């Protein structure tokens, strides 16, 4: 009976430990079904590690998007020009000051959909 009790205790401790786990913080800027749209959207995320990555996907038929990322010190981390058409990619190993990062996606006569995800 003590083996069964030990197994139950180990499973209970494992469940509590796993419940405390969470995925890395992230934020997504996305738009769907745009038609010749211009403008920009921004979102912020606490990047306490000062490290992050961006994954993006576009299905555009016209125009372009511009992806930029700034850290809390207002330092430019990435400035990705002219993503157009159907494209996808990852911008990995981004480094900046720890704290609040701002992800901005600017549209220029963009038609289609896009999704840009920042993960810290």
Residue 100 domain boundaries: 25-119
State how many domains the chain has. 1
In a domain, 71, yes or no: yes
In this predicted model, what pLDDT tens digit does every residue of 85-120 receive, in sequence order? Answer: 999 999 999 999 999 999 999 999 999 999 999 999
Q: What is the pTM of this model?
A: 0.79
Rounded to whole angstroms, how far apart are CA atoms 81 and 105? Answer: 10
CATH number of the domain to which 60 belongs: 2.60.120.260
Query: 50: which DSSP letter?
Result: S
Which H or E run contains 14? helix 2-19
The radius of gyration computed from the CA coordinates of the chain, to the nearest angstrom, equals 20
Residues 33/27/45/102 CA torsion (nearest 10 deg) = -30
Tens digits of residue pLDDT in 14-36: 333 333 445 889 999 999 999 99
């Amino acid at each position: 009976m003590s083996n069964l009790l030990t197994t139950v205790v180990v499973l209970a401790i494992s469940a509590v430990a796993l419940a405390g786990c969470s995925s890395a913080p992230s934020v997504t800027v996305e738009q769907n079904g745009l038609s010749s749209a211009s403008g920009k959207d921004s979102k912020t995320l606490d990047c306490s590690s000062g490290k992050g990555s961006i994954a993006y996907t576009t299905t555009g038929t016209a125009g372009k998007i511009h992806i930029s990322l700034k850290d809390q010190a207002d330092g430019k981390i990435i400035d990705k020009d002219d993503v157009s058409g159907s494209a996808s990619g990852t911008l990995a190993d981004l480094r900046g000051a720890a704290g609040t990062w701002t992800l901005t996606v600017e549209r220029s006569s963009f038609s289609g959909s896009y999704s840009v995800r920042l993960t810290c």
